[in-house]
Structure 1
Amino acid sequence: MYKIKVDFLINGMILAKNIYDCDGTILLSAGACIRNSYITKLKDLQINEVYIQADETADIVIEDVIQEQNRLEARKLAKTVMDNIRLGNSIESKEIYKRVNLIIDDLLKNKNVIVQLCDIRTVDDYTFAHSVNVCVLSIITGISMGYNHQRLKELGVSALLHDIGKMQIQDEVLNKPSELNESEFNEIKKHSDLGHAILSEIPDIGPDTAIVALTHHERYDGSGYPFGKKAEEIHEFSRVVAIADVYDALTSDRIYKKKILPHQAMEYLMTMAGHQFDPEIAKSFIRYIAIYPVGYIVALSTGERGIITDSNQQFPTRPKVRIVYNSQGQKSTIRKELDLIEHPSVMITDVLEKLW
Structure 2
Amino acid sequence: MYVRVEDVKEGNVLLNDVMHKASEPLMAKETVLTNWHIKILKAFLIDEVDVGEGASIGIVTESGTHTDKEKPKADVPVDKKVDFFKSYLQSVEEYKKEFQKWQAGASIDIVKIREITLPLLDEMLIDPEVIREISKYTEKESYCYHHSVATGLLSGAIAAQLNYEKGFIVQAALAGVLADCGMAKISPHILLKETSLTEREKKEVNEHPFLSYKMVKDINLLKPETKLAVFQHHERTDGSGYVNGVKAEKLLPISRIVAIADVFHAMTAERVYRKRQAPFKVLEMFRQDFFGEFDLSVVKALTELFTKLSLGTSVQLSDGGVATILFMKQQNPTRPLVQLEESKDIIDLEKRRDLHIEQVL
State the TM-score bracket (shorter-chain normalisation).
Answer: 0.5 to 0.7
The DSSP-based 3-state class of the residue aligned with 1:205 is coil
Q: Which one of 311, 314, 322 corresponds to residue 306 of structure 1?
A: 322
Q: How does 1:196-235 map to 2 (within 5 A)?
A: 196-235=213-252
Q: Which one of 97, 113, 128 corresponds to residue 96 of structure 1?
A: 113
Residue 298 of structure 1: CA displacement?
A: 2.4
Q: Structure 1: which 5+ residue stretches go unaligned? A: 1-59, 328-335
With over 3 angstroms needed to count, the CA separation of the structure-2 counterparts of 1:126 and 1:295, relative to structure 1, is farther
In terms of fraction of residues, the more strand-rich structure is 1
TM (norm. structure 2) is: 0.66
Q: How does 1:20-39 map to 2 (within 5 A)?
A: none
Q: Which one of 181, 184, 202 corresponds to residue 164 of structure 1?
A: 181
Match of 2:230, as an amino acid?
A
Are positions 1:268 and 2:317 aligned together?
no
Whether the aligned pair in 2 keeps the contact of 1:162 and 1:209 (CA below 8 Å) is: no
Match of 1:297, as an amino acid?
Q
Aligned to 1:279: 296
143-152 or 267-276: bigger deviation: 267-276
Separation in 2, partners of 1:235, 1:149 = 17
Higher RCO, 1 or 2 (CA under 8 Å, sep at least 6)? 1
Q: Which one of 253, 265, 274 corresponds to residue 236 of structure 1?
A: 253
Separation in 1, partners of 2:221, 2:248 = 29
The DSSP-based 3-state class of the residue aligned with 1:78 is helix
With over 3 angstroms needed to count, the CA separation of the structure-2 counterparts of 1:192 and 1:306, relative to structure 1, is same
Aligned to 2:65: none
Residue 262 of structure 1: CA displacement?
A: 1.7
The DSSP-based 3-state class of the residue aligned with 1:140 is helix
Separation in 1, partners of 2:334, 2:80 = 18
Whether the aligned pair in 2 keeps the contact of 1:298 and 1:350 (CA below 8 Å) is: yes
Instruction: Report percent identity of matched pairs.
Output: 24
Separation in 2, partners of 1:124, 1:150 = 33
Residue 249 of structure 1: CA displacement?
A: 0.8
Match of 2:265, as an amino acid?
D
Q: How does 1:54-69 map to 2 (within 5 A)?
A: 67-69=84-86
Match of 2:185, as an amino acid?
Q
The DSSP-based 3-state class of the residue aligned with 2:355 is strand
The structure with the largest alpha-carbon Rg is 2
Whether the aligned pair in 2 keeps the contact of 1:65 and 1:106 (CA below 8 Å) is: no
Deviations 1:245-284 (A, max 9, x none): 1111111222222222222211111125652111121111
TM (norm. structure 1) is: 0.67
Aligned to 1:297: 316
Q: How does 1:141-156 map to 2 (within 5 A)?
A: 141-156=158-173
Whether the aligned pair in 2 keeps the contact of 1:253 and 1:259 (CA below 8 Å) is: yes
Q: Which one of 208, 215, 219 corresponds to residue 191 of structure 1?
A: 208
With over 3 angstroms needed to count, the CA separation of the structure-2 counterparts of 1:232 and 1:114, relative to structure 1, is same
Coordinate RMSD, CA, aligned: 3.7
Aligned to 2:336: 318
The DSSP-based 3-state class of the residue aligned with 2:103 is helix
With over 3 angstroms needed to count, the CA separation of the structure-2 counterparts of 1:145 and 1:167, relative to structure 1, is same
Separation in 1, partners of 2:135, 2:222 = 30
Are positions 1:255 and 2:261 aligned together?
no
Deviations 1:113-152 (A, max 9, x none): 7724563232111011111111111111101111111111
In terms of fraction of residues, the more helix-rich structure is 2
